[in-house]
Amino acid sequence: MKSEIRNLKSAQPCPLVTYDPALIEALVRSKVDAAADADQSWINAYRDELDDIYERSPEERESLFASLDRRYFQRVGIPAIVEECLAERAGALPKTCNVTMLSAQDRSEEGADVNRAGQMILRFRTATLADSEKFRRRLRREIVQAADCFNPEFGHAPELLDALLPSERERIRAALTLLWALTAQIRLCAEEPLKTGATAQVEKERLDRLAADLRAALCGDAHAPLAELLQDLPARPPAFGRMLEFCRRHAGSEAAASGICDLCRFPSEDVQTLSVLPDNVRRALTAEFTSLQNMSHVCARCAERSAI
C-alpha cells in the first residue's frame, strides 16, 4: 500500500524547477574537489572536459562552462532529489507553481518560502547539498511547509508578523519557525509508520531536536498549551494564525530573562559572552556568524548547536 501511494503521488505533474547558475557551479566544484580521493575517474573526466573548454575561443567558453556544470550537476543527483520530494507533494501544490533554487549564505537562510506570486523559493548551502540524505530529509519537511502555504484552510498570512512590536518580532518569528517545522515533521513520520531500525531512530532524533529547540524558545510552562495545539496532528495541523497566537503568548519577554541571545534573539537565563565559550565553539560560531564580537551574547542552545 505504501508503494502504491508513493507511485500515485509521483504520477502528478512535477513543478518546473530553475536552479541558480552560481549554485550549480559552487556545488559541482565542491563535489569535484571532494571526489579526488573517493573517485579519481570522476574528477579526471571533469578536468579533461574543463581543459578542452580552455582550448576554445573566449567567446565560446562561458556557455560551455555553464553546460559542463549543468551536466555534472545532474550527475551528483540534486535535481533528482528535488524532483522526488516535489513529486511526493505534487497533489498539494498548484499546477502553475514554479520553483527556484538559490544559494543560502548561512544556516539561518536555509529553507523553502512561498512569495506573493505563488513561487516557491528554495535556499540551501552547498555544505547541506553535499550530504544527499541530509538534504533529502530537510527538503521533504520544507516542501510540506510550502504546501501548507497553498492550502486555504491553513491561512498563511506572513504579513501578520509585520504587525508585531519590533522588540518581539524576531523572537516570535523564530519560535513560529520551530513550531511549524515540528508539525511538518510529525506529519512526515505519520506517513511512514513502517520505518524501523536506524531510519526510525533518525526520524525520532529529528523530532526530539525540534521539540527541544521549541521548548528552549518558549518561556515558562507551555507544555499543556502546546499539547492542546498539536492534538489534531497529523490529520489536521494547526492553522497559521493559531500557531502565531500561541507563539505570541509563550515565546516570552525580555523581562523574563537575564539576557538576549545575539543569534536566535530569544530571552534566556543562560546567555554567556562569546569570550568565555570553549575555543572550538567560539571558532565555529565566528566562522559562521562573522559579526560576532567577544562581548556578544550567546545562549547555551545556540552554543550547543554550533558544536554539532
Q: Output the pLDDT for position 269.
A: 65
C-alpha span between 306 and 289 (Å, rounded): 10
- 32 and 142 part of one domain: yes
pTM: 0.74
Minimal CA–CA distance to 252: which of 219, 215, 281? Answer: 219
Domain boundary among 123, 149, 175: 149
Contact 229, 243 (CB under 8 A): yes
Whether the per-residue pLDDT at 152 is higher than 70: the answer is yes
- 222 and 296 part of one domain: no
Q: Which percentage of the chain shows pLDDT scores above 90?
A: 40
Q: Output the pLDDT for position 295.
A: 75
Of 294 and 228, more confident: 228
Q: Output the pLDDT for position 1.
A: 33
- 144 and 166 part of one domain: no
- 87 and 217 part of one domain: no
Q: Output the pLDDT for position 96.
A: 82
- 11 and 120 part of one domain: yes
pLDDT for 40-78, tens place per residue? 677 788 888 989 998 899 888 889 999 999 998 998 899
Number of structural domains found in the chain:
3
pLDDT for 191-249, tens place per residue? 876 555 666 677 778 888 999 889 888 877 788 999 999 999 999 999 999 999 999 88
- 187 and 118 part of one domain: no
Q: Output the pLDDT for position 270.
A: 73
Domain boundary among 98, 118, 149: 149
Domain boundary among 121, 149, 177: 149
- 17 and 140 part of one domain: yes
- 141 and 266 part of one domain: no
Domain encompassing residue 160: 155-252
Whether the per-residue pLDDT at 130 is higher than 90: the answer is no
Report the 10 Å Cβ neighbour count for 238. Answer: 20
- 32 and 138 part of one domain: yes
